[in-house]
Structure 1
Amino acid sequence: MSELKYIIGIDQSTQGTKALLFDQNGRLLLRTDKSHRQIVNDKGWVSHDLDEIYHNTLETVKQLFHKSGINSRQIAGIGISNQRETTAVWDRDSGKPLDDAIVWQCKRAGSISQDLKKRGYAEIVREKTGIPLSPYFPAPKMSWLLQKKDNTDSSIDRTRLAGTGKLCLGTIDSWLIYKLTNDHVFRTDYSNASRTQLFNIHSLKWDEELCRIFGVPMICLPEVCGSDEIFGYTRMGGLFDKGVPICGVLGDSHGALFGQGCQKPGMIKATYGTGSSLMLNTGENLIQSTHGMVTSLAWKRSGKVNYVLEGNLNYTGAVISWMKDDLGLIVSADETEGLAFLANPGDTTYLVPAFTGLGAPYWDENARACISGMSRLTGKAEIVKAGLDCIAYQITDLLTAMELDTNQKITELRVDGGPTKNKYLMQFQSDIADKKISVPYEEELSGIGAAYMAGISAGLYEEDKLFGSMDREFYHPAQDRERWEVKYEGWKATVHMLGQHFPKKM
């Protein structure tokens, strides 16, 4: 009798690393996880220790094996989903990082983006990549890393080393693939490449002009592979008896899109994490946004690419962490639901979480957070409620922009991520956006998507059977639309008060 086969999904996120074990029917059996440090200096720069992330990946898989009792011969394939835009540089020969990774939230490369805007490059970047020139994306981060003096030897010229091909510049997926594979291959997938501002989404390759603009030698960039290709084989630091294929790689939001079953044009999902990503599958149709969205690749699989419209938010779930860790309003995130239901529903407090500027659809890195509209009766519950409300308001901004870009009405939003457990937030999201909200009972959608991609690639899963059986909870919008429209207008007025310029027709 043949042994049962399994798929491992590795979800490397902003806060930590998870290892997920799936059976041959695609059911999630077991999860292990390990957090990593958030390194923040006095300038507010956010970094991650690359070696810590790699070792945490090995440890979570090791724990998964010990808890499950399976052996490496039973693993048919491995999928990886990763925090996107977080940018790394390391020595190609030794594998030693030259610096901590610059986290996607960090805007330390803002001066580089501003200089390129002044020199007239913004439209070239947007037209070729679908992404507005911004320090949140890897290209300016890579430029910053190359210009920085080495931590241990200031005489080392990183730009010169990069030009000789001795350095690797990539995102977290390419770092893990390099470290995990037996022969240290340097590869990325189309979803991650499309987020770098160096990848031409029309020609589907690294762009020489963009690399020249940002000062990033093309020789330092990874080979771009289809999301369902075999990236290499890993023994997981000696844990496996033989090499197991890494055969599914997706950026976390793309993984969630795939895991949600949004393979058809017009299907849309929102991932509520530290930040949030709203992603609309546009199929093989490349739509250039005129309302503050970005155009990226969903994936390349079976030789074909799918495009997406996407909007990214810097602070959604992170607002809950801020209320807990910095303000001390709550002890745990679970408290927010009860407090929001207890709060005065007529309170007019708005919180705009522009702690590091505003992402889509406003794209203002100079904006700063504010709380406004408080009365003498505003208390802890009302402020916590405003913190949850701002998550839904920001998602609604993105939905509105996408409807304008596609000239189509969106009726259902599929959602995932920790905050979607919050019943107050999900009902408020449905009410304020006037959409049906679909919450799967399955969690870990990013990891599920990468694992499913790997399982299909390995021939273990049949796609039609995977996505038809996911159970969901639904929230439906309230009928008194005028009340919710007034609330949303109040939100837009508060954002406008910060000096924002709304995208055209918004």
Structure 2
Amino acid sequence: MNHEDGFVLVIDQGTTGTRAALVSHNGSIVGFAYSEHSQIYPRPGWVEHDPLEIWEKVMLVIKEVIERTKVDPREIAAIGVTNQRETTVIWDPRTGQPIYNAIVWQDRRTAPQIDYLRAHYMDTIKTKTGLVPDPYFSGTKVWWLLDNVPGLRDKAAKGEVIFGTIDTWLIWNLTRGSKDVLTPERGGAHVTDYSNASRTMIFNIQRLDWDDELLEIEGRIPRDILPLPRPSSDRKFYGYTGPEISAKLFNGISIPVCGDAGDQQAALFGQAGFEVGEVKSTYGTGNFILLNIGKSITYSRSGLLTTVFYATEEKTAYYALEGSVFITGAAVQWLRDGLKIIEVSDEIEPLAASASDTGGVYFVPAFVGLGAPYWDQYARGLIIGITRGTTRRHIARAVLESIAYLTRDVLEAMISDAGLRIPRIKVDGGAAKDNFLMQFQADITGIEVWRPKVFETTSLGAAYLAGLATGFWNSLDEIRNNWALDRVFKPTMDPETRERLYRGWKAAVQRALGWAKEVPWAYGID
């Protein structure tokens, strides 16, 4: 195949939906298809997905993008996967049936286990995993499943079930039945990459392997149910598409599956963030800010996470500092679907811009607690500063401003931890299209915001990782040359106003912290 004429297929499986995209050699997305999936809320603070529905949507969008673009499957050089990271699935590898719904990264049901770990193993977990104990991560979700699904612990002990984050679930289904997989005894490639493994809270980021001590203290998780950790761009390939999937989607062509990264790491890779000090901020359901810190591990003193960025070789990785903001774009959805202040999400930008300020209103979107740098699982959302003159314009503006404030919180911590000056923030994700938000982001941080021409950098990153494994792209420099600038947002706010507004934000956050612990009965907390 002439690489310049071929494509890489990407599956970008997110919190609210799944995208399939075809990426050309010059980094253009030549076509995509998207489909939402159901959100399941069994109890306050619980969030679940149906893994089978997600897999059905994956097959649907792959079929759609190939039909729309009329690409011959023989032109597809590789498949890359990127995913909502900490969401947890356990399934029977003989039947392919999940044992329980996927427990989503936003889910808070394991708060009691986290309280226990914070009290007894805080330093151990942070040193080995780079993470701050929180229900966000996969380890305590597996613990909960083993303790609460009847018979599951016995099945796990007998090797009758396997665990994976969403990338593992998709790769296993893509390669199911193929003989050319790294784990043929599991029926499909039962693998994950180092970046996704580093989000489980049971993975040692120094040794780049599962940690037996953490498996024991986080609910006696059997090692045998865990996927094989692999590089994000794997020249050995995780496997090839299985016969059933190849026949159904690719005209019988077997395609290598060889790229995998968590969605936020993939976005930094897609932003060509290969140099130490590069920063990206992705505006999606949540907001995730990553700083490339290279091959040396730096532990945060300011409430950030140290995570694996990516790997192209076994037992070697690049690392990043990460600030995870749980709810940003989801707050806009709440305005649309919950309060019905807007009818469609795009209405929020002109509505917010129509107000000269928020009239003293601050909005803290702590719907599921607060992530970095606060890490308060008992924080809850609030709107404060309301007066008789407050209108929906002020609320809309306060919601958008909260996204920028939370991002500044993380950037302040990064500057403190890494000792670096951040010259620019590269942005992506749906809300990066919002000019009002991007300008306020520049204003409230005093840092230039750089927006690329191609917004779907998560998909690009997964494509680049898969394409590097097959030689579709030969170097990081070749990928870097594909990155193109759309617009720079420069700070215009005077420093005094910037700091005054930010002090108001910090005061509002203080009032949100710990609220659910004051009235646990209101949130279904035992």
TM over 0.5: yes
Q: Verify the 8 A CA contact 2:450 2:485 in the aligned structure 1.
A: no
Deviation at 1:2, TM superposition (A): 6.2
Task: Kindly indicate whether residue 65 of structure 2 is the aligned counterpart of residue 64 of structure 1.
Answer: yes
Deviates more, 1:432-441 or 1:1-10: 1-10
Deviations 1:119-142 (CA, angstroms, capped at 9, x unpaired): x12221111101011111000001
Q: How does 1:294-443 map to 2 (within 5 A)?
A: 294-303=305-314, 304-345=316-357, 347-443=359-455
Q: Which amino acid aligns with 1:320?
A: V
Q: Counterpart of 2:221? A: 216
Task: State the SS of the aligned residue for 1:39.
Answer: coil
Q: Verify the 8 A CA contact 2:19 2:32 in the aligned structure 1.
A: yes
Q: Counterpart of 1:165? A: 159
Deviation at 1:71, TM superposition (A): 2.0
Q: Counterpart of 2:107? A: 106
Deviation at 1:375, TM superposition (A): 2.6
Deviates more, 1:175-184 or 1:456-465: 456-465
Task: State the SS of the aligned residue for 1:394.
Answer: helix
| In structure 1, distance between residues paired with 2:36 and 2:148 | 28
Q: Verify the 8 A CA contact 1:21 1:31 in the aligned structure 2.
A: yes
Deviations 1:284-320 (CA, angstroms, capped at 9, x unpaired): 1200001000101001114431011001011000010
Deviations 1:174-212 (CA, angstroms, capped at 9, x unpaired): 000111103311000000001100100111110000001
| In structure 1, distance between residues paired with 2:308 and 2:224 | 22
Deviation at 1:42, TM superposition (A): 3.5
1:234 to 192, 216, 241: 241
| In structure 2, distance between residues paired with 1:346 and 1:69 | 49
Task: Kindly indicate whether residue 230 of structure 2 is the aligned counterpart of residue 225 of structure 1.
Answer: yes
Q: Verify the 8 A CA contact 2:33 2:64 in the aligned structure 1.
A: yes
Q: Aligned residues, how many?
A: 494
Task: State the SS of the aligned residue for 1:286.
Answer: coil
Deviations 1:209-243 (CA, angstroms, capped at 9, x unpaired): 00011121111100001111111111435222221
Q: Verify the 8 A CA contact 1:362 1:500 in the aligned structure 2.
A: no
1:271 to 282, 291, 308: 282
| In structure 1, distance between residues paired with 2:204 and 2:84 | 21
Deviation at 1:399, TM superposition (A): 0.1
Q: Counterpart of 1:127? A: 127
Task: State the SS of the aligned residue for 2:345.
Answer: coil
Task: Kindly indicate whether residue 221 of structure 2 is the aligned counterpart of residue 196 of structure 1.
Answer: no
| In structure 2, distance between residues paired with 1:440 and 1:306 | 23
Give the TM-score taking structure 1 as reference length: 0.95
Q: Which amino acid aligns with 2:125?
A: V
| In structure 2, distance between residues paired with 1:372 and 1:24 | 49
| In structure 2, distance between residues paired with 1:345 and 1:69 | 49
Deviations 1:299-353 (CA, angstroms, capped at 9, x unpaired): 1114431011001011000010011100010011111111111113261100011
Task: Kindly indicate whether residue 175 of structure 2 is the aligned counterpart of residue 175 of structure 1.
Answer: no
Q: Verify the 8 A CA contact 1:58 1:237 in the aligned structure 2.
A: no
Q: Verify the 8 A CA contact 1:25 1:461 in the aligned structure 2.
A: no
Q: Which amino acid aligns with 1:160?
A: D
Q: Verify the 8 A CA contact 1:26 1:461 in the aligned structure 2.
A: no
Q: Which amino acid aligns with 1:322?
A: W
Q: Counterpart of 1:491? A: 505
Task: Kindly indicate whether residue 50 of structure 2 is the aligned counterpart of residue 49 of structure 1.
Answer: yes
Task: State the SS of the aligned residue for 2:67.
Answer: helix
Deviation at 1:92, TM superposition (A): 2.3
Q: Over aligned residues, Cα RMSD in angstroms? A: 1.6
Q: Which amino acid aligns with 2:290?
A: M
Gaps of 5+ in 1: 151-156, 502-506
Task: Kindly indicate whether residue 187 of structure 2 is the aligned counterpart of residue 186 of structure 1.
Answer: no
Task: State the SS of the aligned residue for 1:454.
Answer: helix
| In structure 2, distance between residues paired with 1:237 and 1:212 | 40
Deviation at 1:64, TM superposition (A): 1.3
Task: State the SS of the aligned residue for 2:81.
Answer: strand
Task: Kindly indicate whether residue 44 of structure 2 is the aligned counterpart of residue 31 of structure 1.
Answer: no
